[in-house]
Amino acid sequence: MKALVYDGPRRVSVKDVPDARVERPTDVLVKITATNICGSDLHMYEGRTDFDTGRIFGHENLGEVIAVGSGVDRVRVGDLVCLPFNVSCGFCRNCEKGLTAFCLSTNPDPRMAGAAYGFAGMGPWEGGQAELLRVPYGDHNCLVLPEEAREKQTDYVMLSDIFPTGWHSTELARVQPGDTVVIYGAGPVGCMAALSATLKSAGKIMVVDRHPDRLALVEQIGAIPVDDSQGSPVDRVLEETGGLGADCGCECVGYQAHDPQGNEHPNLTLNNLVQSVKATGTIGVVGIFVPQDPGSPDTLYKEGEVAFDYGMFWMKGQGMGTGQCNVKAYNRQLCTLIEAGKAEPSWIVSHELTLDQASDGYEHFDARDNGWTKVVLHPDGSR
């Protein structure tokens, strides 16, 4: 099969690799028809993780089931399915509680909980930016989609990661109807956080970034764009909230947060959130942070440590929730919202490309080039 393979920092290519196949009775084999490039792929693409060369990218996957193992009961050949980016078992202590991002059996590294397709540090599972994908524990992992999804793949593919992840940031931040919410990052995840806060009837939603195309997307759904290249985002949020700060804050940027001039500061968004969120407010951090980052320009962060303003955080009595999203906790309900016409997450999609065009997609999305807000790949050639 053809697959998009990591060749080293900022290099990917399409290669012929052995076909993915059913290896265990509980596996499902999926022909991928839509698979996205994610901000998480970019950390790996830039060489800022220990992702091995030769591995296949792709954790935001949707496609048609073409084979099932002998132990698969529910999922059938021909079903159109969306796969949570988390690879989880359904039967470990964490999965039983719905914490599928922290599955205890799918990551062979005993120090880690949680696994994902095509992801550094998250197990051996190959990615779906390929013609075929092996899905372990298929009955548990496959979300079988409604018929209309065949024509609306760019909406439904967002259920694999970023729509649930944006929603998760608002859950971690405990967004309630009427709350004021500040979101750092207007990338795909920040946009989905803004959509989720809207769906939860937040009173006022402010989104901080500096890319005009991304800020325009959040403005389209009624959020207030805050351009931090034009002045302090903290001052702007305080102005919008009568000096108190927002009730809730969402971090949708991660460890490669930088100032508008491009200098990286892994603590920048976290400390801005401490200042922009009110005393006793809650912060949800879904932007990725990693235990080691030897390539960081920040000495502390080379060992995963962040100069966090803990004193002010503590004095303000704030709370914080962190981590990967348990996609299965939300994907079915969010699917229902798409089917009911109440959510249309595809509004952020700027490009639909074939696998052969994927390396261009990576280059432009990585540069955050104007107009490259979300890239969907169609390895089956459909567009």
Q: Which residues bind Zn ion (CB under 5 A)?
A: 38, 40, 60, 88-89, 92, 95, 103, 105, 161
Residues 130-189 binding ligand NAD (CB under 6 A) are 161-162, 165, 184-189
Q: How far is the CB of 100 from Zn ion (least distance, A)?
A: 7
Verify binding: residue 269, ligand NAD, rule CB under 6 A: yes
Residue nearest ligand NAD by beta-carbon distance:
187
In the structure encoding, which two tokens stand for residue 196, read together?
A: 């989720």
Q: Which does 187 bind (CB under 5 to 8 A by kind): ligand NAD, Zn ion, none?
A: ligand NAD
Instruction: CB nearer to ligand NAD: give 184 or 313.
Output: 184
Phi then psi dihedrals of residue 97, to 5 deg: -90, 5
| CB half-sphere exposure, 24, CA atoms < 13 A | 8
Q: In the beta sheet, which residues pair with residue 133?
A: 30
Q: How far is the CB of 236 from Zn ion (least distance, A)?
A: 29
Burial of 240 (0-12, 13-18, 19+ CB in 10 A): middle
For the chain, give percent helix, strand, coil, nearest 5.
Answer: 30, 25, 45
Nearest to 319 by CA among 180, 174, 108: 174
Verify binding: residue 38, ligand NAD, rule CB under 6 A: yes
Q: How far is the CB of 71 from ligand NAD (least distance, A)?
A: 29
Stretch that binds ligand NAD, among 34-42, 300-308, 312-320, 330-338 (CB under 6 A): 34-42
Verify binding: residue 271, ligand NAD, rule CB under 6 A: no
**DSSP-assigned states of every residue in 302-347:** GGT-----HHHHHHTT-EEEES---GGGTHHHHHHHHHTTS--GGG
Taking the alpha carbons of 265, 268, 270, 274 in that order, is the dihedral positive or negative? positive
Residues in the site for ligand NAD, rule: CB under 6 A?
38-40, 42-43, 161-162, 165, 184-190, 208-211, 214, 228, 252-254, 257-258, 268-269, 286-288, 324-325, 368
